[in-house]
Structure 1
């Protein structure tokens, strides 16, 4: 909601009682779920939760990709669990394979699987997902994509990703603001990763766009400085559009869709087929079956400081 990221108005305060109720309910829920997590059997391997305290796109997915690739380079065998938002399967836990579709597992898990090839398990109940991943897959560390507020899941390391541009908006709890938990929650986590802006006490993450790739998987190259259309169904579409402007693409039309939107061919009738169409990597996994030859997606790689990788690796080693 745009008013979350604007100065507070008088009518926004009408939502204040609901934010107080949200705070009470979330605190009681946390106490109950954490008590249950103490009773659950502990898995043999470390569990890292990557999440946020605000709604909307913060850059968790590029960070999870970086984290997995860094761990693999250090000899670890990571696996990922997700609730699979936007997908619906007839069975859970769901272990992804080459044939798994976004409508089953959700767009983000499918994208992560295609990019990384590591074991990924989807289940609305993350405790079940973690247990299944550790039972049937050859892994030695678990990463949960989101799930900071899933307190039934015991965890060893918490990492919060923050949008460096929007930060925490008006710093109010839902529905008055974008926060899922109070800002004081940040004092409890192990690391705060700032997406795009330097901030004291936070780890700066930079997102580096890579050369565009065809959605239909063929080998080709899209030159820059050409006129294009673009779309995005992510938490913060403007960040994607801005990145295209930053690469000097000439944008004819840009259309944001709701986060995790389930694309259909009819959604693209508003775009001219004469121009290339650019989308995010997450969008591409939902469109490859009906993609035209001039549809492209923009891969994003996260860049983080070496000293952060060293600190995180040391924290993991200290767990053993």
Structure 2
């Protein structure tokens, strides 16, 4: 899986133009996805409307983009306003017998998916996963009486009505080669950005709305109260491991904090085992990966807990959007 992802990333984010075969497939994809959206906009296909506002945090590219950290940030700001907040997600990769499924902090990542479990461990609010997000939204309203719903991804899930859309982009990758799937990484054309309420970049982007990641603490895997400083790591042999869509972002953050690491990128949603780790290194992993590593027995594995820090302009834009949606 990792090799396949690397091959696609090379095609999508490399310097070579896509092959004619992939461009032809992209043209078919464009026609089908455009027709599908037309059916929803023409009300031939039904869009479910809800009694509470739904805010979608999604992207027009495949993978990454910083959606989940932004959802957590928005949830915290809404909680600070005294609102009952719920989150819906597709729970990518999770194998569930029943949907929608309520995700708790003790859930199994194999059932819930990585991101929903990370959010459940970070927030005190109901989180529902379902392939059809509309069902999850209704469950949150009917069973948990939420006042606002955040959707982690789901920009293209037009069966789910929404009050606002926030599109996330990776400042390092942007739109790749600018082509639609499978010739490029785009789910929809760049014109879709004009229809979003906000476009926010993960990583500094001059003149645009953006946020940056900062290290909050580093704690031992499965022992969050046992922490260590960045300074204590600088003299160590460090392996940095990341099973996320764009692991280079994680590696760059560590380098910016003065840590020289041996990079071990894994495929997105990689299932970790003890064989992935080496007792020759202090290993650093992401919070997203940590939720899948509860069974790991290696003693020197540490989790890099981060927080996002939006620019002042971004905070202002987010608050204005929330004020409008909640008015």
Shift of 1:41: 5.1
How many Å apart are 1:42 and its aligned residue?
A: 2.5
> Who is 1:244 aligned against?
254
Structure 2 residue 322 is matched with structure 1 residue 316? yes
Aligned pair count reads 314
Deviations, residues 208-240 of structure 1 (Å, cap 9, x unaligned):
122211111253233231321121110001111
Note the 1:20-31 alignment, pairs <5 A.
20-31=27-38
Deviations 1:168-207 (A, max 9, x none): 011111111111100000010000001113244x312111
Give the drift of 1:55. 1.0
Partner of 2:4: none
| Higher deviation after alignment, 280-289 or 217-226 | 217-226
Q: For 2:195 and 2:159, how far apart are their aligned partners in 1?
A: 17
- 1:211 aligned counterpart, secondary structure: strand
In the other structure, the counterpart of 1:140 is: 147
Return the match for 2:219 from 213, 216, 229. Answer: 213
Match of 2:233 in 1: 224
- Distance in 1 of aligned mates of 2:324 and 2:225: 44
Q: 1:236-270: per-residue Cα shift (whole Å, max 9, x none)? A: 0111112112222232x3211110112223333xx
The separation in 2 between residues aligned to 1:248 and 1:306, in whole angstroms, is 26
Q: Is the 8 A contact 1:45 1:142 kept in 2?
A: yes
User: 2:210, 2:314 within 8 Å by CA — same for their partners in 1?
Assistant: no
SS, match of residue 221 in structure 1 = strand
Query: In the alignment, is residue 75 of structure 1 matched against residue 82 of structure 2?
Result: yes
Aligned residue number for residue 16 of structure 2: 8
C-alpha separation in 2, matches of 1:50 and 1:20: 26
3-state DSSP class of the match of 2:303? strand
1:181–1:95 CA distance, 2 compared to 1 (3 A)? same
TM-score (norm: length of structure 2) = 0.90
| Alpha-carbon spacing, 1:301–1:218, altered in 2? closer, same or farther (3 Å) | closer
Aligned to 1:258: 267
Report whether the alignment pairs 1:293 with 2:299: yes
Specify the alignment match of 2:121 in structure 1.
Answer: 114
Report the equivalent of 2:163: 156
Question: Following TM superposition, by how much is the alpha carbon of 1:299 offset from its aligned partner in structure 2, in angstroms?
Answer: 1.3
SS of the residue corresponding to residue 210 of structure 1 reads: strand
Deviation, structure 1 residue 4: 1.3
Deviation of the 1:86 alpha carbon: 1.2
Counterpart of 1:234 in structure 2 is 244
Judge conservation of contact 2:39–2:45 (CA < 8 Å) in 1. Answer: no
**Shift, 1:35, TM fit:** 5.3
The whole-number CA distance in structure 1 between the counterparts of 2:14 and 2:23 is 16
The 1:135–1:35 alpha-carbon spacing in structure 2 relative to 1, beyond 3 Å, is farther
Secondary structure of 1:287's counterpart equals coil
- Normalised by the size of structure 1, how large is the TM-score? 0.92
Q: Which segment is superposed worse, 142-151 or 240-249?
A: 240-249
Q: Deviations over 1:62-116 (max 9, x none)?
A: 1111111111122222211000001111111001123311001001100111011
- Cα RMSD over matched residues? 1.9
For residues 34 and 135 of structure 1, do their structure 2 counterparts lie closer, same or farther at Cα, with a shift above 3 Å needed?
farther
Find the aligned partners of 1:187 and 1:18 in 2 and give their Cα distance: 25
1:99 and 2:70 matched: no
